[in-house]
Structure 1
Amino acid sequence: MRYIRKLILPTLLLILLHPSTSFALLCSGNGGTFVLPSGLAIGADLEDGTIAWESETFSRSVSCQPDGTDPGSITDQIPISIYVNPKNHVIDGGIEVGMRFNGKIYTRAGEKIPTGIQTEKVCGIDGIPGMCERRAHFTLDYSIVVIKRGVFPPSGQATQVAAYTVFTVDREKSLSARQMFNPTVYNLQLLRSSACTPTLNIVPDHITFPMVHARDAQRGKVASAVDFNLEISRTCSRDLFTSEAKFTPVTATDAAGMLVPDDNPSVGISLVRADNRTKAPFNKWFNLHSASYREVVRVPFRADLIWREDQPKVGPFNAAVVVELIHY
């Protein structure tokens, strides 16, 4: 009897010591990394909780399947979650890094965010009808955010981490070190603190197009144009600085680089740099001005009202954009 007990006990210990090969979910995706502008500066005067920088919204394809021999039934569904800062990167102060998902921002290390997605039984693996696995294929929409939080260290450098893994995707309870979908921010160690944040003014802050006649409409033709300026003031410092801007539509949508009002899609608005005649994009960062010592930088723009239909809807319309600014 003693001999049998010596054989059984080590077997039980081996099972208890190796659970990870049975419970991990391996997920992979098509990128999702972003390189910050080198030397991105965050004003020390920004209020805590302010979004200092946010990437464009990524829409990435993700595939998940059990990693190893899974003990469950092939019909069991495995819930899939997002885990923030899975590598527990350390930030010394001044900022937080996280993600925006379903309209909410998450920054706390190890925080679990249920996606509402589960694996399903999929057959026909490798072209074999009877070969079945539990898999999930889905699209993940998110953006990466940097938030002002706390005080920067005396060095002005928030972290030494060059490659910051923002989040990963895994199953409900187990984190695998082998995950292949790890959206990452690069150049975070080059982010620095600055004495103050530039002030942005839009002159005029409201644009009113003159009345146009629908009878003159011709698809693609400019119906009217109004000039305006973006003015960047930085009176607290005379250091050399460069800035980028982003136009985000409000009460309107971006249709192939044209701002289309929600209440009248028969017209569109194009924002054009008057100094170089290039069209400004929506939902993407673009260079606003380069290497200036001036206290006030004025960048001229033109808003073109463009017919999108030959028989447009008659009446007033409204569209707006939020203008964001970063400097370095």
Structure 2
Amino acid sequence: MKRICQLLSLALLLVLTQKSYALACKKDRTQASDTIMINTTIAVPSVLPKDTVLWRSDNYSISMTCWQDRTGVGSEYVYFYLSPRDQGLTQLGPDLELGIHLNGTDLRCTQLPGCRVQLPIQFDGCWAPICDQKAQTFPLNFNFFLSKRSPPGSGKEGALTTVSTYPAFQLDGVGGMNTEPGRNFVMTLTGLNNLRYVSCASSLSISPKTINFGAINSFEAQANEVIKEVPFNITAIKNCNSVYGLNGYLNPVAATAADGYTLVPNNNTSVGISLLKQPSRSAIPFNKEFTLVAPTRDQMVVNNFLAQLKWRTSKPKLGKFNATATIDVFYK
């Protein structure tokens, strides 16, 4: 009787173990790991507030396939786990945190219960001998960002972290993460040791803050025809001699940037607005980093630009239009 009880206990243990890790997820159905590198230096003024975004990657889209790889389990969702090998958030040190922009939202481990988020991918259970016949494939659209974890300080110089390589996320089930190598896809970020503190921050001013194109005559409008160009400038000022540069990242508001370079107002798609550097007249991208100030010791730098208004159609819609772009600044 004692032996039977031991066997029953062992069987129950096996069932519970299988239920804890019941999902397998891989990129392109076969790939269990991938790595993205930070290939730029990043300067960080120690006076920046907590949760300031210091760097943001390009946007990525990968194809993920998940399936329940254990029989005898019930319904469950796929979960997106941040910092899968560092749930205590001790590896990067006190000054730095890795975040993920997923489904339109910035996610930080310190702001999520269990350092995870539920994805809208659900399985009904696996009772057949071959579970992967119920596999689901879906796109995963994301970008990485690094943010300052510590409150404002002053006078700090040197590296933010000594860690170069850091597992960023893993997909798994509700029961937790399977750490068995090759079982579940893990994305890793490398190059985090490229971040360093600098002595002071820069302040930016834009003049004019609002660009008014005035009244426009729509008579004989032609697609791609330049209607008007209005100059403006951006001035960067700092109070120390630290050598660093500034990159900008333009985010459309009440507008889209379908081609990456033209701001199209939501309330009137007849026109588009491009921003050009002077004197080169090169176009500035939206939703992508660009060089705003090259690395320099100079304490004041003035950059000149043009806002160029173009027709997008030969049959424009009459009436007002307005669009906004905010600018995020990254220290380099």
TM-score normalised by the shorter chain: which range applies? 0.7 to 0.9
CA contact 1:32–1:60 (8 Å) conserved in 2: no
Q: Which of 213, 238, 245 is matched with 2:248 structurally?
A: 245
2:99 counterpart residue number: 98
2:164 counterpart residue number: 162
- Greater mean alpha carbon deviation, residues 268-277 or residues 316-325: 268-277
Name the aligned partner's letter for residue 135 of structure 2.
R
Tell me the distance in 1 between the aligned counterparts of 2:145 and 2:132. 39
CA contact 1:80–1:171 (8 Å) conserved in 2: yes
Tell me the distance in 1 between the aligned counterparts of 2:291 and 2:156. 29
1:9 counterpart residue number: 6
1:125 counterpart residue number: none
Instruction: Mark the CA change 1:136 to 1:119 in structure 2 (over 3 Å): closer, same or farther.
Output: farther
- In the alignment of these two chains, the number of paired residues is 313
Equivalent position SS for 1:133: helix
Tell me the distance in 2 between the aligned counterparts of 1:197 and 1:58. 30
Tell me the distance in 2 between the aligned counterparts of 1:243 and 1:171. 41
TM-score w.r.t. length of structure 2: 0.83
Tell me the distance in 2 between the aligned counterparts of 1:70 and 1:272. 59
Does residue 318 (structure 1) correspond to residue 322 (structure 2)? The answer is yes
Structure 2 unmatched runs, 5+: none
Tell me the distance in 2 between the aligned counterparts of 1:163 and 1:11. 44
CA RMSD, Structure 1 to Structure 2 (Å):
2.9
Tell me the distance in 2 between the aligned counterparts of 1:180 and 1:131. 16
1:222-262 deviations in Å (ceiling 9; x for gaps): 11111112222122x21222221111101101121210001
1:64 counterpart residue number: 66
Does residue 111 (structure 1) correspond to residue 109 (structure 2)? The answer is no
CA contact 2:55–2:330 (8 Å) conserved in 1: yes
Q: Which of 185, 193, 213 is matched with 1:189 structurally?
A: 193
1:277-314 deviations in Å (ceiling 9; x for gaps): 22111101122232322111222221110101101011
CA contact 2:80–2:172 (8 Å) conserved in 1: yes
1:2-41 deviations in Å (ceiling 9; x for gaps): xxx5477368537636865663312122688543353301
Tell me the distance in 1 between the aligned counterparts of 2:235 and 2:39. 21
CA contact 2:206–2:233 (8 Å) conserved in 1: yes
Q: Which of 76, 79, 92 is matched with 2:77 structurally?
A: 79
Structure 1 unmatched runs, 5+: 123-129
Instruction: Mark the CA change 1:232 to 1:146 in structure 2 (over 3 Å): closer, same or farther.
Output: same
CA contact 1:24–1:175 (8 Å) conserved in 2: no
Equivalent position SS for 1:255: coil
2:148 counterpart residue number: 148
Tell me the distance in 2 between the aligned counterparts of 1:166 and 1:204. 41
2:23 counterpart residue number: 25
Instruction: Mark the CA change 1:174 to 1:284 in structure 2 (over 3 Å): closer, same or farther.
Output: same
Instruction: Mark the CA change 1:9 to 1:154 in structure 2 (over 3 Å): closer, same or farther.
Output: farther
CA contact 1:64–1:119 (8 Å) conserved in 2: no
Instruction: Mark the CA change 1:144 to 1:46 in structure 2 (over 3 Å): closer, same or farther.
Output: same
2:268 counterpart residue number: 264
1:118-142 deviations in Å (ceiling 9; x for gaps): 13689xxxxxxx9962212222233
Q: Which runs of 4+ in 1 moved over 6 A?
A: 152-155
Name the aligned partner's letter for residue 242 of structure 1.
G
1:257-283 deviations in Å (ceiling 9; x for gaps): 210001101110111112322211110
Tell me the distance in 2 between the aligned counterparts of 1:85 and 1:218. 52
1:81-100 deviations in Å (ceiling 9; x for gaps): 11111110512222222223
Instruction: Mark the CA change 1:14 to 1:162 in structure 2 (over 3 Å): closer, same or farther.
Output: farther
Shift of 1:179: 4.8
Tell me the distance in 1 between the aligned counterparts of 2:296 and 2:122. 52
Structure 1 segment 178-327 matched on structure 2, within 5 A: 178-235=182-239, 237-256=240-259, 257-327=261-331
Tell me the distance in 2 between the aligned counterparts of 1:299 and 1:32. 39
CA contact 1:200–1:325 (8 Å) conserved in 2: no
2:136 counterpart residue number: 136
